[in-house]
Amino acid sequence: MFFFNKLINSNPFFNLKFRLLFFFAFLIPVYVYCQDGNNYEFIGMLKLSDSGIIPYKLTFKKYLETKIEGFSITDFYGSNKTKSKIEGFFSKQQNNITFTEIENISTISNANPKDFCYIHVKNASIKRKNGKTIMEGAFYGKFNNDSNCAKGTIYLVGTDVIDKIKKHDSVLNKTNVVNLLNKTNQTFLTSDNQLNINWQSQKLIIELWDAATFDNDVITLTVDEKPILENYIIEHEKKIITLPFATDLCTIKIYAVSEGKNPPNTVNLILKDNDVTHAIVTKLKKGESSTVTIKK
């Protein structure tokens, strides 16, 4: 799913670093695309019919032999990053895949819901090229009202490329490709954007910690304006908070009380919704805040 009115290839960060990432993904051999049993992960791009390019990541698991379910992530380095639920079918005999984005899981886009374009892929091929597993095929997009919004070609490669890239130290030092790949699952929040999440569980599980150098960052965490942690020093050890969620809407805010010894104030969070996890990193100056809105 992507916000149709803003093409991601206008982002200079994407133009340089994502294109490097995708170039090395196809340059360096990848031998397997199934990472763990029936769990699969691909990364690449949607190429629109007007030559626009949108970064795209697909993660799914297979069940009942042919059915798949999982999620996609579009614009994972941009201001419209969106995670969407996907369902479909996988044919080992035909070496192809069919899937549809059916709803948003989370987004930092401020776009009107009617402007989101949901991706449909039918019988995309999964094949080996030069020792790499590649998914390629046509896609079309539809708005919620079922009208067409986009068409083009999907190009993805198995993310086991990370293990191969790690062996190319000189390349790694120049491009930091591995870090780019690892960050695709994280949503970065500043004071300028807000994350919206669709929720299923009757409780909130919040994990927070400092994954960087411990530098005495201090935060206040509120849920629906009620302080849960006040003037709390973020440590390497995870702080786990479990709260009931019986309403239809909930707002979580992280306030930067201080920036510690190494600005900015940085916090790693994981929000758990049953078996779905949302990885978040906030980067704030003193006095700023980040907001996560959760809806059922």
Given this model, what pLDDT does residue 52 score?
82
Q: Is the pTM of this model over 0.85?
A: no
Given this model, what pLDDT does residue 193 score?
84
Given this model, what pLDDT does residue 2 score?
60
Please tell me which residue, 187 or 178, carries the higher pLDDT value: 187
How confident is the prediction for the chain on average, in pLDDT?
A: 82
Given this model, what pLDDT does residue 231 score?
97
Please tell me which residue, 206 or 170, carries the higher pLDDT value: 206
Q: Out of 89-93, 128-132, 188-192, 259-263, which region has the weakest mean confidence (pLDDT)?
A: 128-132
- Note whether 29 and 102 are within 8 A (CB): no
Cis, bond preceding 55 (omega within 30 deg of 0): no
Q: Which CATH architecture has domain 2-183?
A: Beta Barrel (2.40)
**190-295 and 2-183 share a CATH fold:** no
Is it the case that residue 18 has pLDDT exceeding 80? no
pLDDT tens digits, 118-176:
999 999 998 877 767 889 999 999 998 999 999 999 999 886 544 454 454 444 444 45
Each domain of the chain, given as residue ranges in start order, spans 2-183, 190-295
| Sole residue written with tokens 């995309």 | 124
Given this model, what pLDDT does residue 94 score?
87
What mean pLDDT comes out for the span 18-27? 47
- Please report, rounded to a whole number, the percentage of residues in the chain having pLDDT higher than 70: 78
What mean pLDDT comes out for the span 173-183? 51
Given this model, what pLDDT does residue 54 score?
87
Please tell me which residue, 237 or 170, carries the higher pLDDT value: 237
| Residue 33's pLDDT band (cuts 50, 70, 90) | very low
| Residue 227's pLDDT band (cuts 50, 70, 90) | very high
Given this model, what pLDDT does residue 285 score?
95
Is it the case that residue 6 has pLDDT exceeding 50? no
What mean pLDDT comes out for the span 208-215? 88
Given this model, what pLDDT does residue 182 score?
56
So what CATH class is 190-295? mainly beta
Given this model, what pLDDT does residue 162 score?
45
Please tell me which residue, 41 or 77, carries the higher pLDDT value: 41
| Residue 92's pLDDT band (cuts 50, 70, 90) | confident
Q: Out of 38-52, 173-187, 211-225, 270-284, which region has the weakest mean confidence (pLDDT)?
A: 173-187
